[in-house]
Amino acid sequence: MEWKEEGFLDHFGQIKDYRVSKNQLYTVAEILFVTFCAVICGADGWQDVEAYGRSRIYHLREYLDYNNGTPSDDTVRRFFRYIDLKNFEQLFRDWVKSIAKKANVKVIAIDGKASRHSFDGDGAMLHTVSAFSTESRIVLGQERVDDKSNEITAIPKMLEWLDVKDHIITIDAMGCQYNIAANIIKKEGHYIFSLKGNQSSLFDDVKLYFQDQEYQAECAKHTDYDKGHGRIETRECLVTNNTHWLRERHPHWSSIKSIIRINSTRELKSSITTESRYYISSLEYPQDKAGAEKMLVNIRSHWAIENSLHWVLDMSFNDDQSRIRKGNAPYAMAIIRHIATNTLQLTKDQLDKPNSHTIKRLRKLCGWDTKMLDKALEKKSA
């Protein structure tokens, strides 16, 4: 049987087998493949994987032998509790590199997410930081946050392996750290950081700058409008490249080339709310309306990681409700969900009317129609 270069088994079938017994009923590839297919088709836990395998054994045998049938939930559970996470994570990153070369990757949003029901006894819930291509909606990788740490320590680890050259990295206020900025610049990337009170003196200086009417008049400006769901939103973006004074006051932030304020107004039937948000960036666009518009588009694209990844994981994959808790299994399943999300997004992009399909609907279609699942798995004829 012929497989595409980016096929699931080509990459993930190479995972190390930690098991020592020579009389295993199922190969690593068989356990991984039935789990992956089950998750794509709607499985949330190990019992779902067992039920899927039993109901689709004949279709699974078009890919692998499954001479001993499909594994029980206990077999799958034990396998993922002790899986080599570093190896599995590296295989995921290698696979993403093979598809990212063909994808439109410009802005990379980095943000963290907790799987709220993944804690076990005294152990903390699983918390991961993900890198997400906001244009192609592809997960580029993830880094686990240590139980006694936070995202500030996980992001530098991610930047060690993440390809940021010529890309724009967007991070929320928690990741607004000068050492993180320096790492991005060192790897020839750019950044846009949300600025809040955790960088109190820097935040105060930027905020005071934009309160000066004379300085405001010198800023590049762009305003856009968004209407829908019973509300009207107006966003005014002010950008200036006048940052030499800021770099002098904060020498650790020598890479800052522009500062930004976005004034947001939301009009509902019964209320009007306003908010001002501040950002720093290593980008230096022309001081005109077009430059301000580019900056606003880049900043707004960061929310794709919330709307197109975190929300999808919770609403389509029930990530927050997952009861997988023991050993390495929670993080292994997080990686599998990311693989499934990427696979379904790539499949969606190949359809005639991609915008008419949600990830949740595609999961159902793959479960109902083996031809759709074959398309997602990129199967070719023998």
Q: Which amino acid is at 207?
A: K
* Dist CA 324 CA 237 (whole Å): 43
Over 70: is that where the pLDDT of 382 sits?
Answer: no
Instruction: Confirm if 294 and 98 have CB atoms less than 8 A apart.
Output: no
What distance in Å separates the CA atoms of residue 70 and residue 50, rounded to the nearest whole number?
7
Over pLDDT 70: what percentage of the chain? 94
Residue partners of 304: CB distance under 8 A and separation at least 6: 109, 132, 134, 137
pLDDT digits (tens, 9 = 90+) for 73-128: 999 999 999 999 999 999 999 889 888 777 778 999 999 998 765 555 555 688 89
DSSP string of 198-223, one letter each residue: GGHHHHHHHHHHHH-HHHHHHSEEEE
SS3 content of the chain, % helix, strand, coil (to 5): 45, 20, 35
Q: Which two tokens stand for residue 228?
A: 């829908």
**Each residue's pLDDT tens digit, 41-59:** 999 999 999 999 999 999 9
Residue type, 191: Y
Give mean pLDDT, residues 152-157: 93
Q: What is the mean pLDDT of residues 286-298?
A: 96
CB 223 within 8 A of CB 200: no
Residue 367 pLDDT grade (very low, low, confident, very high; cuts 50, 70, 90):
very high
Beta strands 220-228 and 168-171, pairing class: unpaired
CB 95 within 8 A of CB 6: yes
Average the pLDDT over 359-368 and give the result. Answer: 95
Average of per-residue pLDDT across 266-277: 88
pLDDT per position as a tens digit, 296-354: 999 999 999 999 999 999 999 988 878 788 889 999 999 999 999 999 999 998 888 88
Pull the structure tokens for residue 19. Answer: 């098991």
Give backbone dihedrals phi and psi of 160, rounded to 5 degrees, phi first.
Answer: -65, -35
Q: How many residues does the chain have?
A: 382
Q: β-strands 168-171, 138-144: how paired?
A: unpaired
At residue 143, the pLDDT reads 93
Cα angle value 268/307/299 (rounded, 5°): 80
CB-based burial of residue 249 (10 Å sphere; 0-12 exposed, 13-18 middle, 19+ buried)?
A: exposed
CA distance 174 to 196: 9
Q: What residue ranges in 205-351 does DSSP mark as E strands?
A: 220-228, 231-240, 258-267, 272-281
Cα–Cα dist 287/291, whole Å: 6
Q: Please state the pTM of the whole predicted model.
A: 0.90
**Band of pLDDT at residue 252, cut at 50, 70 and 90:** very high
**Beta carbons within 8 Å of 31's beta carbon, 6+ residues apart:** 71, 75, 76, 79
Query: What pLDDT is stored for residue 116 in this prediction?
Result: 62
CA distances from 296 to 37, 57, 222, 303 (A): 39, 50, 8, 12
Q: Which residues contact 239 (CB under 8 A, 6 or more apart)?
A: 219, 220, 221, 258, 259, 260, 285, 287, 291, 292, 295
The closest alpha carbon to 102, from 382, 345, 362, belongs to 345
Q: What is the pLDDT of residues 126-142, one digit of tens each?
A: 889 999 999 999 999 99
